[in-house]
Amino acid sequence: MLSARFKVAGQPFSVEEVEIPKIAEDDVLVEVKAAGICGSDVHYAHGEFSTDVVPLTLGHEGAGVVKEVGKNVHNPRVGDRVAVHYVISCGHCRPCLQGYDNRCRNRLSIGHSVDGVLAQFAAIPAANAIKIADNISFEQAAITGCGVSTAYHAMNVSGLNKGDTVVVFGLGGVGLHAVMWAKFDGAGKIIAVDPVESKHDTARKYGADIVVNPLKTDVPKLIMNETDGWGVDVAVECSGSSRAMEQAIRSIKGKNQFDSGTLVSVGLQTKPFRCEYWNFREGWLTVSGDHTKNELQEILSLIETGKVDLSSSITHRIPLREINRGIELLESNKERVGRVVVDMAKLT
């Protein structure tokens, strides 16, 4: 089968033929139909983040059809359409028992610790294969596995209340969905920030009330004007830019040392940033981690019932052999790039 492999940090990924993986007794073999490319894959490409195993098949956003099941597996069954939950948890440690499988003490990650879904076939634990309805496309199910669910989890972590003012920094695939979920959750005013103006119209379609270019606008000043000096209730930083993080910190700060909203850091920060203690007085700075399995199932139910539409989230579709072009697209500032999906039906 064809697979995208991580071999050397900072070098292009290798696309090569490898053997179809063997499944264990609690696993299923999924014929991957669609797989998303995530911002973390860009960090792998630049050597800013490394996998646990080398070489490794990349990819943690995937969906497809179950082709084989292990001898202990009764659900799902061969022929079922499934999305991949990339967090492999033990199910019995304290966080797992509390419903936080994303914090599992013994966790592994598909596409990071074990081979992932940027391949024609993937062997995964049966518990990580989430059945999807027939009216959910493989493409939408794939991006739900991280790009959509990461933003969903971030908004859950933020404690957003209806009517709150929200600012989202960075309008890539995760940032746009953060705007979408903020609107879905009842935010009163949403401000979206990104220097790539081709993304601005899409942010408005997702629910942003104000969209600004931080290279042309003093974002913290604009926010103070829009909030009567209170600052936003929730700031979500999705770009990974240290400058954006510093602006996000300032955006939740009010007029005195006691005013402060909540800042949720989502984008991987690869450079240091500065903050003052008083900027978080009575407020909250947190790093939003991986979503839970339950959150993924909630989102899939919302898509199935038509309450959420992801049809405009995917902007580019490529064959697996062009995985490195997909990485370049995600880095591009010349055009609006949302989620880039590998269509496994297109091998060349």
CB-count exposure of residue 338 (10 Å: 0-12, 13-18, 19+): buried
User: What pLDDT does residue 303 have?
Assistant: 97
User: What pLDDT does residue 334 have?
Assistant: 62
How many whole angstroms separate alpha carbon 327 and alpha carbon 234?
A: 30
CATH architecture of 150-287: 3-Layer(aba) Sandwich (3.40)
User: What pLDDT does residue 257 have?
Assistant: 67
User: What pLDDT does residue 283 have?
Assistant: 73
User: What pLDDT does residue 333 have?
Assistant: 63
Binning pLDDT at 50, 70 and 90, where does residue 220 land?
Answer: very high
Angle made by CA atoms 107, 110, 115, in degrees to the nearest 5: 125
Distance of CA 52 to the CA centre of its chain: 19
User: What pLDDT does residue 281 have?
Assistant: 67
Nearest in space to 115 (alpha carbons), one of 60, 66, 35: 60
For 138-184, write each residue's pLDDT tens digit: 999 999 999 899 999 999 999 999 999 999 999 988 999 999 999 99
What are phi and psi for residue 160, nearest 5 degrees? -55, 130
How many whole angstroms separate alpha carbon 177 and alpha carbon 203?
A: 9
Q: Pseudo-torsion of CA 100, 168, 314, 88, nearest 10°?
A: -20
Decide: 314 and 180 in contact? Cβ < 8 Å: no
DSSP class of residue 53 equals S
For 43-67, write each residue's pLDDT tens digit: 888 877 778 888 999 999 999 999 9
Binning pLDDT at 50, 70 and 90, where does residue 260 land?
Answer: confident
% residues pLDDT > 90 (the chain): 74
Helices (H), 159-309: 173-184, 200-206, 219-226, 242-251, 293-304
Q: Rounded to two decimals, what is the model's pTM?
A: 0.92
Q: Is the pLDDT of residue 291 over 90?
A: yes
Q: How many CB atoms within 10 Å of residue 184?
A: 16
For 228-240, write each residue's pLDDT tens digit: 999 999 999 999 8
Long-range contacts of 241-244 (CB under 8 A, 24+ apart): 241/169, 241/170, 241/267, 242/269, 242/271, 242/272, 242/273, 243/214, 243/273, 244/169, 244/170, 244/193, 244/214
User: What pLDDT does residue 279 have?
Assistant: 67
For 304-330, write each residue's pLDDT tens digit: 999 999 988 998 999 999 999 998 988
For 296-305, write each residue's pLDDT tens digit: 999 999 999 9
CATH of segment(s) 2-131+313-343: 3.90.180.10
For 109-140, write each residue's pLDDT tens digit: 999 999 999 999 999 999 999 999 999 999 99
Q: How far is CA 106 from CA 23, 54, 92, 95, in A?
A: 20, 20, 9, 10
Name the residue ranges covered by the structural domains of the chain.
2-131+313-343, 150-287
Q: Is the pLDDT of residue 217 over 90?
A: yes
DSSP class of residue 145 equals I
Q: Is the pLDDT of residue 348 over 70?
A: no
Comparing 105 with 289, the larger pLDDT belongs to 105
